[in-house]
A and B are shown apart, each in its own frame.
Chain A
Amino acid sequence: MNEDVNESPRISPEQGSDERTLAETPFYILTEDNAGVVFSLRGDWNLQNIAQLEKLLSKRALESLQYDDFYFRCGGMQQFDLSGAWLLYSTGERLRTLGRTIHLAGFRDEHLKFIEDVLDIDVSRVVPMEPAPLILRATEKTATTIQDLGLGISQRFAWWLLVTRTLVASAAKPSKLRWIAIVRHIGDVGISAIGIVALMTFLVALVLGFQGQSQLTRFGAQIFTVDLVSLSVLREMGALLTAILVAGRSGSAFAAEIGVMSLNEEVDAMKTMGVDPIEALIIPRMIALLIALPLLTFIADVAGLLGMLSIAHFMLDIPVSLTIDRFLGLNPLQHFTAGMVKTPFFALVIGMIGTFRGYYVGRSAGAVGHNTTSAVVESVFTVIVVDAVFSILFTEMGW
């Protein structure tokens, strides 16, 4: 505010010649006399004004260190709340540590009571921890990261073990499986994803065929576009794209659903009822994925091959019968199997990671979001790693 407006020293006539006004602000009038410096407090000392007050008061107090005695006189304050009292107290304390004497005068009972209350409550300041040397901090950080990593790996390993065991146990007794839940999850994971999966692989096959034919035409080998697209779709694209899409759709959904349930103590409630949450929550999702993902991949393959047919027919003017002959000559069943074999593993990876991330969620809303993100990133990454491993394996086997 306009602290400087009345800054010029002037003799106030009614106060006698030994008292000078130094400054006026909406919150105090500052005067000096023989005894020391006097803050006559006025206005609203409340939280609304506290930011302004803090600046005005602490600046002024530190500029007045030539005085030994500080008087704080209550001169018609309208509002004085805890934040105002604290400001006064903390400013006083600061001056006191600098060897100045503080006097309070003219406070009405309620105000004094307030300050007493504030003084009564011992707010020992939190002493900021001295930062450790950089090298120490770096080592410590590395150590905890490695420890966390180790913990994470062992936890995941235990999860895989636990879920696999329960999965095998329930597969042995199919009558005890929760078929209603499984069917519902198949709907969520599989049926509602059919459209997007089919469209995506169809388009990818189109793009692949388009790019491929522009290169192959230069060698007069347009017909090989059929080989290129069919092999890519059957061996890689169908399975991989479907898995990535399902990881994004359902992996995240699993993590969020189960995460909120454990946050809500629903998982604990199940345990106390003697219901195994792994069996009730995790297994139906795993089985649904194991059923739905291969079927989705099959649909993706068909859509991809249709894309290949369209490119061959409409762009390369290869008759459909010729394309089909060419395709059948490629031993498509072997390539289809090579792609299909991978899908249960993809399903396991997506399911395990998604449910793990949900089951071991922290206890805050942020943790659910974080874990959902991690579930997607982790499962997409792992799916690609698994795919790479299979590629190497198949090449070695000469498939």
Chain B
Amino acid sequence: MSVPLIEVRNLVNQFGDQRVHDDLNLTIFQHEILGIVGGSGTGKSVLLRTMLGLHEPTSGVVSVFGENVACKETGNLGFCQFRWGVLFQGGALFSGLTVLENVMAPMLEHTGISHEFAKDLAQLKLKMVGLTHSAFNRFPSELSGGMVKRAALARALANEPQLVFLDEPTAGLDPISAAEFDELILYLREHLKLTVVMVSHDMDSLLRICDRLAVLLDKKVLVDRKEVVVEHPHPWIREYFGGPRGRAAQGVS
């Protein structure tokens, strides 16, 4: 936990009169799993989109891999886009392509590899995330929710990224699938040396896999090891982790 991969400095995001982020600072280190939590409307998605260069902040610096993504036109981030992968909440699989083609698409787009080799690698990635052959040639509309998430994760991993953004990775999954997905993320972090940034509301998932938690509070962010964050006296955190669901996830009766 030494090398900073993402640095957010003095970030301000304002929509009309409404200020979502005010002078927000956040550093994400290599090889950690950071969970971003916060109530509805606290700007989790905006923060994520800002880090991805999809949203231009009102002011502030966001550097990923040492490169400022905050003030660039999208599509101008070739360097980063090769080194990160994104799992969107709804999967965002290309509906006109099969699962296999979805995973092959970023590889073929960015490297000059042969179609055959890309196919092999894509199959490898799909197996890695736990999909079986029968799913490879199906279209996204023919998949179950859990399979969509897995396929989307495989696509996010297509270009061997060092950094993976997960937007609500376990939302809409049954508890067993969600737990499996947690283990999968841990496994991949271990073997692919990933840094993971995830936005989630899944208490079990957050406490199981995250190293640190970043809580969006009062337009700023409170970030620390999860054990510390859980005990923080802030009323929102008390309510969030101390509520019935939070206590259940922590195994407190």
A-side residues, CB < 8 A to B, are 46-48, 50-52, 54, 81-83, 86-87, 90, 113-114, 117-118, 121-126, 362-366
Contact = CB atoms under 8 A, between A and B. Distances in A.
A82 B124 contact: yes
Closest 9 CB pairs of A and B: A363-B141, A364-B95, A51-B112, A366-B96, A81-B160, A47-B160, A51-B113, A121-B127, A364-B96
B95 A365 contact: yes
DSSP class of B's interface residues: helix, strand, loop or mixed? Answer: helix
B141 A46 contact: no
B248 interface: no
Contacts of A50: 111, 113, 117
Interface in B87-102: 95-96
Contacts of A52: 112
A364 B98 CA distance: 11
A363 B95 contact: yes
B113 to A, nearest CB: 5
B88 to A, nearest CB: 15
A118 B136 contact: no
Interface in B126-178: 127-128, 133, 136, 139-141, 159-160
A365 B160 CA distance: 28
A123 B95 CA distance: 25
B123 to A, nearest CB: 5
Contact of A117 (B96, B110, B119, B191): B191
B120 interface: yes
Given A51-B114, A54-B113, A364 B141 contact: yes
Contacts of A83: 113, 121, 160
Nearest to B187: A117
Contact of B192 (A82, A90, A126): A82
Contacts of A365: 95-96
Contact of A123 (B112, B113, B123, B139): B123
A117 B120 CA distance: 15
Nearest to B158: A47
A50, A113, A121 — most chain B CB neighbours (10 Å): A50
A121 B112 contact: no
A86 B191 contact: no
Given A47-B159, A54-B117, A364-B141, 16 more contacts: A47-B107, A50-B117, A51-B111, A82-B192, A83-B160, A86-B124, A117-B191, A121-B124, A121-B127, A123-B124, A126-B133, A363-B95, A364-B95, A364-B96, A365-B95, A365-B96
A261 B124 CA distance: 36
Nearest to B140: A364
Nearest to B117: A54
Nearest to A124: B133
A362 B127 CA distance: 28
Contact of A86 (B95, B121, B159, B192): B121
Interface residues of B, number: 27
A90 B120 contact: yes
Given A48-B82, A48-B111, A82-B160, A366 B120 contact: no
Is chain A's binding surface mostly helix, strand, loop or mixed? helix
22 contacts: A47-B107, A47-B110, A47-B159, A50-B113, A50-B117, A52-B112, A54-B113, A54-B117, A82-B124, A82-B128, A82-B160, A83-B113, A113-B191, A123-B120, A123-B123, A124-B133, A125-B120, A125-B123, A126-B136, A364-B95, A364-B139, A365-B95
A86 B117 CA distance: 9
Contacts of B123: 123, 125-126
Nearest to A52: B112
A87 B192 CA distance: 16
A54 B110 CA distance: 15
A117 B123 CA distance: 14
A47 B96 contact: no
A54 B114 contact: yes
B252 to A, nearest CB: 37
Contacts of B96: 364-366
Nearest to A365: B95
A56 to B, nearest CB: 13
Contacts of B141: 362-364
A262 to B, nearest CB: 12
Contacts of B119: 126
Contacts of A81: 160, 192
B133 A114 contact: no
Contacts of A121: 124, 127-128
Nearest to B191: A117
A373 to B, nearest CB: 15
A366 to B, nearest CB: 4
B105 to A, nearest CB: 14
Contacts of B160: 46-47, 81-83
Contacts of A46: 160
Contacts of A363: 95, 139, 141
Nearest to B137: A126
B95 A366 contact: yes
Contacts of A54: 113-114, 117
Contacts of A122: 127
A54 B191 CA distance: 23
A259 B127 CA distance: 34
Interface string B203-228: 00000000000000000000000000
Given A47-B160, A364-B139, A365-B96, A82 B121 contact: yes
A118 B123 CA distance: 12
Contacts of B117: 50, 54, 87
Contacts of B112: 51-52
Nearest to A51: B112
